[in-house]
């Protein structure tokens, strides 16, 4: 079931996080259960639920991922975006990126500097691969992404709904 969330950006972000906090214990327990014994049809069922949930999700009314977290920027992302912005890659890095604790390139600040006032993306056609695949709930070998999915319940209301639906299927 889709939760009713605020339309105010700060309140929206808080309400997504609060809901994830409320469900933290049961979500964590469920994710551990899936990790211990991944159901044989997990990929298929998750893909179906992902499609259903995103059919009813308006990302342009949310954009909480772009407002609060950073994608990883791989080398080909940096090259493509530098070209788009007519910057040398070294300048692009200097202006927008920093290394995180895993030594990956991520945005220096949030919200993403390419997020426009209407929640569209200024560099949509050249956006990083991680933005294209977020929140990764339709990926093969989904059992390898369960920890990330748990973390994403704090950011993405669609992920929270997907996890809740999976809980109904795999009680
Ligand atoms: S992917 Fe999730 S967090 Fe990002 S805009 Fe869509 S619903 Fe919001
Ligand atoms: S590059 Fe675009 S899609 Fe990716 S985080 Fe920034 S605004 Fe969002």
Task: Domain ranges for the chain, please list them.
Answer: 9-61+141-169, 72-133
Q: Give the separation between CA 134 and CA 77, rounded to whole angstroms.
A: 15
121, 122, 133, 134: residue to mutate for ligand 2 pocket, most atoms within 8 A of CB: 121
Smallest-distance ligand from the CA of 59: 1
Helix (H, G, I), strand (E, B) or coil at 134: coil
Q: Tens digit of pLDDT for each residue in 65-91?
A: 999 999 999 999 999 999 999 999 999
Enter the pTM of the model.
Answer: 0.91
Residue 3 token pair: 């939760």
- Can you name the residues that pair with 97 across neighbouring β-strands? 107
How many whole angstroms from 125 Cα to the centroid of ligand 2? 10
Q: Give the separation between CA 109 and CA 68, rounded to whole angstroms.
A: 9
Sign of the alpha-carbon torsion through 168, 37, 48, 157:
positive
Taking alpha carbons only, the member of 133, 156, 136, 142 closest to residue 20 is: 156
Determine the pLDDT at residue 8.
Answer: 66
> Between helices 157-169 and 42-55, what is the axis angle to 10°?
130
Helix (H, G, I), strand (E, B) or coil at 106: strand
Residue nearest atom 3 in ligand 2 by C-alpha distance: 131
Smallest-distance ligand from the CA of 80: 2
Q: Give the separation between CA 54 and CA 65, rounded to whole angstroms.
A: 15
Q: What percent of the chain has pLDDT over 70?
A: 95
Residue 2 contacts residue 61 (beta carbons within 8 Å): no
Q: Tens digit of pLDDT for each residue in 107-156?
A: 999 999 999 999 999 999 999 999 999 999 999 999 999 999 999 999 99
Q: 7: pLDDT confidence band, cut at 50, 70 and 90?
A: low
Q: Give the separation between CA 2 and CA 36, rounded to whole angstroms.
A: 27
Mean pLDDT of 37-62: 96
Residue 134 token pair: 């977020």
Determine the pLDDT at residue 100.
Answer: 96
Residue 2 has pLDDT above 50, yes or no: no
Distances (CA, A) of 100 to 85, 103, 105, 134, 155: 23, 5, 6, 19, 18
CB 131 less than 6 A from any atom of ligand 2: yes
Please give the full DSSP string across 22-46, using - where no structure is assigned: HTHHHHHHHHHHHHHS--TTHHHHH
């Amino acid at each position: 079931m889709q939760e009713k969330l605020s339309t105010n950006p700060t309140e929206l972000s808080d309400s997504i996080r609060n809901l994830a906090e409320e469900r933290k214990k049961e979500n964590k327990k469920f994710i551990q259960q899936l990790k211990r014994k991944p159901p044989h049809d997990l990929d298929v069922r998750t893909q179906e639920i992902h499609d259903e949930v995103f059919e009813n999700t308006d990302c342009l009314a949310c954009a909480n991922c772009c407002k609060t977290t950073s994608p990883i920027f791989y080398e080909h992302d940096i090259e493509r975006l530098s070209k788009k912005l007519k910057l040398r890659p070294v300048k692009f890095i200097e202006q927008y990126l920093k290394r995180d604790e895993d030594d990956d390139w991520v945005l220096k600040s949030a919200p993403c500097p390419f997020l426009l006032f209407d929640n569209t993306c200024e560099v949509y056609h050249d956006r990083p691969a991680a933005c294209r695949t977020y929140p990764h709930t339709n990926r093969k070998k989904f059992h390898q992404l369960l920890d990330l999915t748990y973390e994403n319940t704090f950011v993405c209301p669609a992920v929270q709904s997907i996890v809740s639906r999976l809980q109904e299927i795999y009680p």
